[in-house]
Amino acid sequence: MSDKKARVSLAGSQDVIELPVLEGTIGPDVIDVRSLVSKGVFTYDPGFMSTASTESSITYIDGDAGVLLHRGYPIDQLADHSDYLETCYLLLKGELPDAANKQAFTDEIKRHTMVDAQIAQLLNGFQRNAHPMAVLISLTGALAALYHDSLDVDDAEHRHLAAIRLIAKMPTLAAMIYKHSIGQPVMSPINSLTYAENFLHMMFGVPAEGPNVSSVLAKAVDVIFLLHADHEQNASTSTVRLAGSTGANPYACISSGIAALWGPAHGGANEAVLKMLNEIGDESRIEEFIAKAKDKDDPFRLMGFGHRVYKNFDPRSKVMRKICDEVLADLGVENDPLFRIARRLEKIALEDQYFIERKLYPNVDFYSGIILKAIGIPTSMFTVIFALGRTPGWISHWNEMLSGPYKIGRPRQLYRGSPKRDYPV
């Protein structure tokens, strides 16, 4: 702890409250306000704009500089040299694995890719047009009903098993949900395939044919998973931590994270990008939509642009943009009208003073939406892909919290309702 102190005095009181100032490895200092409650006051910070909800050593973001580090490693280096499962290991365990540990981790994941047949029965109870996120929330939570012998959150072995099961089964669940929605038989995982190949095989393969997965698309999907793997204390991760702080089981916690991710201000934005591109419909209408986005009297915003934390190019977007070019070229769809609109939109927004002045860069959802669409993944599945990729981040944060001393998350409030009054009799 540093010797720095912050001093607070309340108007009308002689008392000065001295608060410790905590220093992170990098990043801004943090004033420790925990002792304030004993002085009879709370702090007020809706939206956590100025409040660190926890200490963490998993991920660091500097939004002004456009920096994202996992366990200290820059995201672009991980995207270039690592792969999704290795990044999962890094997030969970804190260090990159050596070759033997990497193989052992991959093998362990592969041993858990299948899901119990009763989960398929539960899936069959859903209407085919159910939103995939609604189904994913349900199936993930239902896993707890199968593993009640290993739900002791104070047992590190049980927590490890839950992490492996969740990372291993997410692609299987996601693909099952898609197959159910289109009325095709559910595909079993093939463990000789890589994690991303297996996902694409279960999504697009059919039992009558063997696996036939493009290596370019598998690489793109692996990088998409990797780029979504963690993002510090975002809304869904904070939801997982809050649920976990009650001692709830891991499947319930991850299910609550998936629910929080579904919102359009969070993971639902990639779906919104594609809806917007379809609405624009033709290059001739781009200027009209740019004008709408700039108009203060119009609530319309350019979906896939801007970020709460990144006021610089999101480092994930830079990688995603490159992958986007490769995928469109590999599939020969660069001239597809929808993708031409996306390219023009990107160019105009990057050159337009309105977007430059407000630091509104294309975000990760802009490019991921385009890539997923090009691969043939339906729009309603986009946020499911985000959830799949984010699973190791959620589990790492949940595990980090449970591995140390923690308290139930219980925010206070500023009460502005009626004072005490008597019931009229």
Q: Which residue is nearest to ligand CMC (CB)?
A: 306
306 binds ligand CMC (CB under 6 A): yes
Q: Which of 11, 99, 117, 265 binds ligand CMC (CB under 6 A)?
A: 265
Structure tokens at 180: 């159910």
- Which residue's CB is nearer to ligand CMC, number 168 or number 269? 269
Q: What are phi and psi of 284, to 5 degrees?
A: -65, -15
CA nearest neighbour of 249 among 405, 140, 411, 391? 140
**Window 350 to 379, contacts with ligand CMC (CB under 6 A):** 358, 360, 363, 365
74 pairs with which residues across the strands? 69
- Which residue's CB is nearer to ligand CMC, number 140 or number 363? 363
Q: What are phi and psi of 415, to 5 degrees?
A: -80, 125
6 pairs with which residues across the strands? 19
Q: Which of 269, 319, 323, 370 binds ligand CMC (CB under 6 A)?
A: 269
- Which residue's CB is nearer to ligand CMC, number 308 or number 347? 308
- Which residue's CB is nearer to ligand CMC, number 175 or number 360? 360
39 binds ligand CMC (CB under 6 A): no
307 binds ligand CMC (CB under 6 A): yes
Nearest-angstrom CA–CA distance, 152 and 248: 9
Secondary structure of 348-401 as H, E, C letters: HHHHCHHHHHCCCCECHHHHHHHHHHHHCCCHHHHHHHHHHHHHHHHHHHHHHH
- Which residue's CB is nearer to ligand CMC, number 1 or number 265? 265
The alpha carbon of residue 107 and the mean position of all alpha carbons in its chain are separated, in whole angstroms, by: 25
Task: For 158-177, give the DSSP string.
Answer: HHHHHHHHHHHHHHHHHHHH
182 binds ligand CMC (CB under 6 A): no
Q: What are phi and psi of 337, to 5 degrees?
A: -55, -40
- Closest approach, Cβ 362 to ligand CMC, in A, equals 9
Question: Is 83 one of the catalytic residues?
Answer: no
Question: Is 152 one of the catalytic residues?
Answer: no
138 binds ligand CMC (CB under 6 A): no
Question: Is 365 one of the catalytic residues?
Answer: yes
**Could you say which of 180, 266, 314, 397 is catalytic?**
266
- Closest approach, Cβ 373 to ligand CMC, in A, equals 15
- Closest approach, Cβ 75 to ligand CMC, in A, equals 13
Q: What is the DSSP letter of 27?
A: S
Cβ neighbors of 17 (< 8 A, separation 6 or more) are: 7, 8, 9, 10, 35, 36, 39
**Could you say which of 307, 314, 325, 336 is catalytic?**
307
Q: Which residues bind to ligand CMC, rule: CB under 6 A?
A: 265-267, 269, 293, 301-308, 358, 360, 363, 365
- Residue numbers annotated as active site: 266, 307, 365
